[in-house]
Structure 1
Amino acid sequence: MKLFCFPYAGGLPSIYYGWKRALSPALLEIDPFEVRPSLQSDSVVLSTSFYEVLEDVYKRITPELGEEPFAFYGHSMGGLIAFELTRKLLQNGKPLPQHLFLSASRVPHAYHKLVKTYNLPHNEFIESLRTLGGTPNEVLDNHELLELFLPNIRADFQAVQTYEMNNELPQQIPVNMTVLFGKEDSIEIQDIVAWRDYCGRECKFYPMPGGHFFIHQQMNTILVIIQDTLKVEQAVAIRAQF
């Protein structure tokens, strides 16, 4: 089975490279998916619209979705992409993921609570990133690296901080969900457990030690949860064939 992994806002696919090294492809093939170009260039116009970003992801990922089962994992903004991508696949009659893993992701109807930081002046924006965590100090303290990565980070933040759910599509998706959340995260717990309202199948919750970016400290625990969950579902799917 292939697991497509979507990074958080401003994050790179490389945050999942350790997962690839930790697992044999025979057990689970980790596919760190690039949500948008990694580096800014003169030829790249970075969209600040969530749905334009989603459309681009949809166009690039659908050719990879064949008859083999697959699943999605998304952290923070990556979780929102995984959920909305699943809704778009459902809308267009495409294959759906066998499972949706959402980590540090608030429910879609709670995004209006986000404080708008994407349009802050340079120094204030940098300090907001430092407070949030997730962006290494090696990047925040290096002018040349900031010039490379900051346009992507701002564009991602604007996309997610201005996101509004499209209520014309069905809210629930017929896919099992696993929701992981940091015990010290600032996301309100009601905006985590409300994922039940978006899941048309089984929805499980796992509290994790740490804050919003627990993904960096809890890799082994997360991978065990993912593997155990998918093993059970594959066994159920096999039994259903007989």
Structure 2
Amino acid sequence: MGVINILCLPYAGGSASVVTDVLAGKLDKNRFTAVPLELPGRGMRFGEECALTTDELYEAIDSLLSDYTQQAAPYYLLGHSMGGELLPHLYHKIIERGGTPPKGLIICGAEPPEHLTLAATDEASLLTEMKKGGATSEEFFESPELVELFLPIVQADYRLLNSLVSQIPEPIDCELIVINGKEDAEALEHHEDWRSYTTAECSFFQVDGGHFFITENTETAAIINKAI
């Protein structure tokens, strides 16, 4: 079968390379390669206009995806938080464009589509949410320059998430692997509702940590090594 590529989407405001850097050292390198699907506005694409709709998102990463969706070799899509919530929509976009679908989706720390709610996108609300999440350093909040530079990226991502609230995707036809942190009560409350979004096998895993467990330990990579 050869090496399977795991194509990764990040959480709101994050860079895909953060996710792949964490996974890369612990995935079985003889079987998997972690590939970042970097979104505009961050990482190497800093300065580009952020995507505000799923159509804009697909157009923004189409050139990155085409190397995998235009061949028969198997690949998986992985997304954390915002990235996970986008994956079913991305799956259908790939099918619509005539691409080879992924063998499965790995959804980490994400709410099932019917449980998404509109989020406030004003500066004060987003800063409060970021502090509560615990993934952003105190230095960020103490620097007006950093807030001015990076908060618009988070705002754009939350607007993208808000666009999903009225879009309930049809079930996908591939394996679904759902992973959540044991301390992420919000994600765990409904996580088994993901079962209705695939016509194929659906498996559930809980790992140590909170909402950002994917950056807190190596258990996500261990699950991928064992489950795929």
1:14 and 2:17 correspond: yes
User: Which residue in the other structure is 2:196 paired with?
Assistant: 197
SS for the counterpart of 1:22 is coil
Partner AA of 1:78 in structure 2 = G
SS for the counterpart of 1:130 is helix
SS for the counterpart of 1:187 is helix
User: Which residue in the other structure is 1:147 paired with?
Assistant: 148
* Sequence identity percentage: 26
Partner AA of 2:7 in structure 1 = F
User: Which residue in the other structure is 2:101 paired with?
Assistant: 96
Do the aligned partners of 1:58 and 1:85 also contact (CA within 8 Å) in 2? no
Q: CA deviation at 1:187?
A: 2.0
Q: Which runs of 5+ in 1 are unaligned?
A: 231-242
**What is the distance in 1 between the residues matched to 2:33 and 2:105?**
15
User: Which residue in the other structure is 2:83 paired with?
Assistant: 78
Do the aligned partners of 1:82 and 1:100 also contact (CA within 8 Å) in 2? yes
Q: Deviations for 1:33-78, whole angstroms, at most 9, x for unmatched residues?
A: 202231653xx33343344224423454124332221111110110
Partner AA of 1:149 in structure 2 = F
Partner AA of 1:226 in structure 2 = I
SS for the counterpart of 1:102 is strand
Do the aligned partners of 1:5 and 1:31 also contact (CA within 8 Å) in 2? yes
User: Which residue in the other structure is 1:187 paired with?
Assistant: 186
Q: CA deviation at 1:20?
A: 2.0
**What is the distance in 2 between the residues matched to 1:225 and 1:88?**
27
**What is the distance in 1 between the residues matched to 2:219 and 2:103?**
21
Decide which of 28, 34, 41 is 2:38's aligned counterpart.
34
**TM-score, length-normalised on structure 2?**
0.86
Partner AA of 2:213 in structure 1 = F
Partner AA of 2:94 in structure 1 = L
Decide which of 109, 119, 122 is 2:114's aligned counterpart.
109
Decide which of 40, 50, 53 is 1:49's aligned counterpart.
53
Change (3 A) 1:13 1:97: same
Partner AA of 1:8 in structure 2 = Y
Do the aligned partners of 1:40 and 1:151 also contact (CA within 8 Å) in 2? no
Q: Which moved more, 1:32-41 or 1:67-76?
A: 32-41
1:5 and 2:3 correspond: no
**TM-score, length-normalised on structure 1?**
0.81
**What is the distance in 1 between the residues matched to 2:134 and 2:58?**
24
**What is the distance in 2 between the residues matched to 1:40 and 1:151?**
12
**What is the distance in 2 between the residues matched to 1:93 and 1:50?**
17
Q: How many residues are treated as equivalent by the alignment? A: 221
Partner AA of 2:79 in structure 1 = G
User: Which residue in the other structure is 2:130 paired with?
Assistant: 129
